Structure formats: C-alpha cells, structure tokens
Chain A
Amino acid sequence: MKLKRVIPAAAIVSIGALTLSACGGSATGETGTGSQASDSASVSGTLVGIGSSAQKSAVQAWSTDFKSANSGAQVNYSPDGSGAGVKQFLAGTADFAGSDAYLEDDQVEAAKKVCGPDGAIEFPVYISPISVAFNLEGVSELNMSPSLIAQIFSGKITTWNDPAIKAENADANLPDSPITAVHRKDESGTTENFTDYLNKTASKDWPDEGSKEFPGAYKGESAQGTDGVVSTVTKTKGAIGYVDSSAVTDDMGTAKIKVGDTYVAHSAEAAAKAVEASDQVSGRGENDIAIDIKRDSTEADTYPLVLVSYHIVCSAYADQAKADLVKSWEKYVLSDEGQQSGAENAKSAPLSPAVAEKAAKAVDTIKVKG
C-alpha cells in the first residue's frame, strides 16, 4: 500500500526536477554562448540523469565532486532503474541515462530521433565484481567452478559436504548441513550478469539465458535487493548468495571462481582486467562502446563475474552550454580522479586506462545539434 503512494510522489518530484533543469538550461544557454569551454573551464547548469540503481552511490560521489569543482553545476540523478533511465533518455526527458545493459539495436535507432543522426554515445563508467558469498562457520574461502555454482543455485547440490564441492576443496572443513541458496527476488542487473555468466560458462548446468529475473523454475530462497540478500545470508547458517562485491561483509566467506585452470578471488583489479580483455560489440558506431564481456575468459587474473554499468549520452545537444556541461561531467566521471572517487565511495573497480581513454575520446565528439 505504502509503496503505491510513493510512486506518484516520486513521479511528481522528478517532473519538478525536469522543469527546473529546463529553466536552468536555457538561462545558462544565454550567458554561456560563445565560451568554448575547455576541460578546465568552469561550467554551469543542471543535468538530469535517470537510471541504474547500481550506480547510485558512485554517481552521488561524482556529482558532489563535480559540483565542488564547478560551483554553478548541478547533477540530479534519480536511480529509478536501468529500464526507466533508457526510456526517459529516449523520450528526451533525461540528459543522460545510467544503464546496466548497453542499448539494444532498436534502441540505438530510436536514439537517433532524440540525439540527431549520430545517435547516442555509450561507454562503461562503473565496473563492479559480483561475489558469490556464503555463511559457513570457519570457512572464509572456497574454490568453485562455474558448473559447481550453477548446480548449487539450481538446487542440484543440496548439502555442503557434497562430493562435487569436496572435489574442488580438498582441505576445507565442510559440514553436512543443507545449502540455502539465496537469490534476488526483484529484477536486477546483478541477477542478469550472474545468470549470464553461468549460462556462458556452464551451459550444461545452466541452460537459461541471462535475465534480470532469476529463473523461477529453480528452488531456493529469495530476498529483496542487495541488502536483503546480504542480511539473509548473514543470519542463515549454510546460506549462499550472489551480491555486489562492495556489499560483502567480514561475516561472509567468498568463492574464488575458476577461470581457465586457476581460481581467482574477486577484486577490483581482476574485474577491470576482465572488462579490458573483452571485445567491443561489433557492428556499432565508433563511439558506441558497448562491451561484450568475455565470461569464458581463460586469462589468469581476470574475474569475469562482473557487472558493467554504462552512461548513455547524446552525440549532440541543442545548445552549447548543455553540450559543454555533459562533456565536462562525463570527462570528470571517466578521469582517474573520478574513477578513484567511485572506488572509494562505491567500492567499484576503476576502469582500466585503455578503456577510460577510449571512452573519453568518444565524449570529446559531443557537439551542438546543427
């Protein structure tokens, strides 16, 4: 009941924000014309972003930093979800979108209507490893192959001392207690990346394609949101779940996942490496940096169970002030400083320099609609 009442209120607030930003944009348009802002020059105006809730704390940190560097600038980000963000962006009501998935082909076409013939520019800004975390007394680390993880989460392996787990963890002291696998009950980018990883690396044990919703056919407990999974795993002995690595607490053990022939622990560096080692989605514009994460990477030190979140911006904006503002904002986000700030505040993995540089080049092409 309560939530239903909150939604319209949120809608009104965001509409209010949009109107405000429209006013701000036109006002700065008059004063800002002609000033060819370079990277260092201060910009002003209000940007409206809508999208992924995974990026929320990172964007909060970025916008605080950005505001202190540019006193007249303001970034309003509402974490309504990736789907909502892309939808609003394509409707022209958001200046940029945050999304856990890159645009689909028809959305790339739709973006041309809003942004002009060159369409949208998208690039990764936020990388976060996903951890497989469990609650077993005295066990802080377990080796797990993708097939093992798939069998645990699909309910095929039900006790901790199953031979399949023992085979990969000869030294671990495994109890004979039941496994309680915990998944997200709400739709989420974390689930999408987790299931996509299992499907690509252990398709025999996990035939379902990656999706935002955990496959309903599999048994197991479910919990609301990352916090819900963390609290359920923490308070239930023998529970195992998948969560954003930043949410893992000291009470939980984490799995090292099998990559090639070695087991790799979750870390920011390994996650960033996995993204760097992946290919760009082909058949798209040069500035459309959509990454097809190589889940079945065999390269040592890569951690392919990772969530990549994008910013989607227009290739051209209606006035110079807005274009400068977007450019300056995204450049800050992609800068070393920005990525470090994200790592500190949201515990994300900083982009590797190669990816960041490529993205910054794409951002440089933002221009005024002509």
Chain B
Amino acid sequence: MVRPGDRIFSLLSLAAGILILAILAGVALFLLLQSTDVIRASASEPGSISGGHGFIAYVLPLIAGTLISALIALLVATPFALGIALFTTHIAPRRFASSLGYVIDLLAAIPSVVYGLWGLSISGHLTGLYAWLATWLGWIPIFAPDAGGGVSQTGNTILTASLVLSIMVLPIITSLSREVFLQTPRLQEEAALALGATRWEMIRMAVLPFGTSGIVSAIMLGLGRALGETMAVAMVLSSGGLTLSLLVSGNQTIAAEIAQNFPEASGLRLSELISIGLVLFAITLIVNMAARWIVTRTTIKEG
C-alpha cells in the first residue's frame, strides 16, 4: 500500500533529479550550438579567429594559463589547509578551534571582487620579492626575468593572481578536510596513542589514511573553484601571451578572458568566447570525474 505522501515525495525528488540533468544538458547543448560557428570558421578560415592561427592556437595558451594558476593556488593552499584542519581537529583547545574554524569559513564568504581589489593593492608590494626571486632563482625557468633582465614593475603577474586564488580556495579545502578528520574513529586514534605513538605518529597512522579520499575530494573541489574563478584573476592579472616565467606579465585564464571581452564582443568573437566557455566546462567536468574516480578507488581499498 503506497501512501499519497510517499508518491508525491518520490515524484518531487525525481523531478528535482531530472531537472539538474536537464539543466546540465541544456548548458552543454547551448555551448555546443553557439560554438559551431567557430569550429567551422576555424576549419575553413583559421585567420578569422583571434590570434590568426585557428581555434586550437587561440585556446591552448588559455588552457595552460588556467591550469597553471589553479595548480599554483592548490600547491600553496593545500599544505596550509591541511595544517589548519589538523590543528583545529586534533591540536588546538576545543574553544579556540571552533572560533578559528569560523574565521576560516568566513574567508569563503568574502566576494571575489574584494579579493581582486586586495590583490591589486598588495601586488605592488610583491615586486621586491619577485626581483629577489629573479636574481637568485632566475635559472629556474618559472622564475626567469624578462629579456631586459627585469621583472614586472606592477607585480600584476600570474604568481600574484595564483596567490590570491590560493587564499580563496583555502576555506573550501580546510572546512571539508576538517569534517573528514573529525570522523576518524576515536578507537583507532586511542589505540595508536595507547601503543605509544606520539601525536604526529597518531595523525600519520590513523587520521591521514582514514581521510585520504576526503582530502582528495576537498582538493578537487578547491581546484574547481580555482579553475572557474573569474573576477579576482580578471582584476589582478596583467594578461598577455603564454609565458613560462611567473614573474613577468602575461598568461591569461579562460574565465577572465570571457569576462573581460564579453561586453564588447559580437558575431564570431562572441561565439569564440562561448566556445572557450565550452572548453572550461569540459575541463571542470574532467576534473570532477577524475576526483570521483580517485575517491571511489581509495574508498574501496579501505572497505
């Protein structure tokens, strides 16, 4: 005997599930349809695409710039985030931990425009550090100075943009890993301590292995945020062509490219911007699928 309430609830939740799929498919379809012009133009007349060498040549540096900035942001943010999460769950006194957690969560609530403004105001102060990096570590390609031997005088480089991004992804990774660390079975922790493990050994043997899949998915969520972040990058980065060095102006991310050029775009250019949106869509999809795959793999191993 099925009650009406059950039926209504199951129909509603089914509708919600279908709606999400339909919206996702609709977005993909919209992006695909709007991009056909560009794909056709790129095949028949590569010169008509921005940059003059076809769509692939146009989009590859943007993909590279997007990945570079997101990766640096993660490299910087992850150790900090895990440190903060471990500190709040296992080391800090409970009272202090909860207020610290609250402050970290607050970082996520700051609008990205504010981060952009902040990035612009600190960028000038980073030039000294960049000049130092170029002088002493200039032999590493990513810290190489430009042809004239100098670094960006404004500090509005991809490194600055990535540092701003890293602060923006910090709360996401922190709060997710904190939740995961809190779930570590108390018995395992106590068993480790009872066997004479130090607190660090206990964390290494009980907390981290248990949390691996959670940490991975937290990082992947952070990556998603970093890939799609528009405003802060658009404001901070002095964009330009692809450059390996992080200390000179140059590079551009997909999201910032769209945001900056959309207002004046029309015709083929508009279609171009939408199709790089499709590329970003595909990248985030791949990242999410990869995250899923890693998470399921690690979970099965534990079970």
Q: Chain A residues in contact with chain B, CB under 8 A?
A: 1-4, 7, 53, 80-84, 86-87, 158, 178, 180, 182, 185-188, 212-213, 216-217, 219-224, 228, 231-232, 235-239
Contact = CB atoms under 8 A, between A and B. Distances in A.
Contacts of B154: 180, 182, 221, 232, 235-236, 239
B231 A213 contact: no
B111 A2 contact: yes
B178 to A, nearest CB: 24
A3 B230 contact: yes
Interface stretch (B33-41, B89-97, B263-271): B263-271
Nearest to B231: A2
Contacts of A83: 264-267, 269
A235 B124 contact: yes
Taking residues whose C-beta sits less than 8 angstroms from the other chain, chain B's interface range is 35 or more
A188 B264 contact: yes
Chain B CB count within 10 A is highest, among A81, A83, A178, A216, for A216
B266 A185 contact: no
B25 to A, nearest CB: 18
A225 B255 CA distance: 17
Contacts of A180: 152-154
* B interface secondary structure, majority: loop
B259 A3 contact: yes
Interface in B239-269: 239-241, 248-250, 255, 258-267, 269
Contacts, number: 104
Interface of B: 50-51, 111-113, 120, 124, 146, 148, 150, 152-154, 156, 228-231, 234-235, 238-241, 248-250, 255, 258-267, 269
Given A219-B146, A219-B249, A221-B249, A187 B264 contact: yes
A2 B112 contact: yes
A216 B112 contact: no
Contacts of A186: 260-261, 263-264
Contact of B235 (A53, A219, A224): A224
A53 B153 contact: no
Contact of B230 (A4, A219, A223): A4
Contacts of B240: 185, 216, 219-220, 222
Contacts of A231: 120
A185 B50 CA distance: 14
A1 B172 CA distance: 16
Contact of A212 (B51, B235, B259, B264): B264
Contact of B263 (A84, A228, A235): A84
Contacts of B51: 216
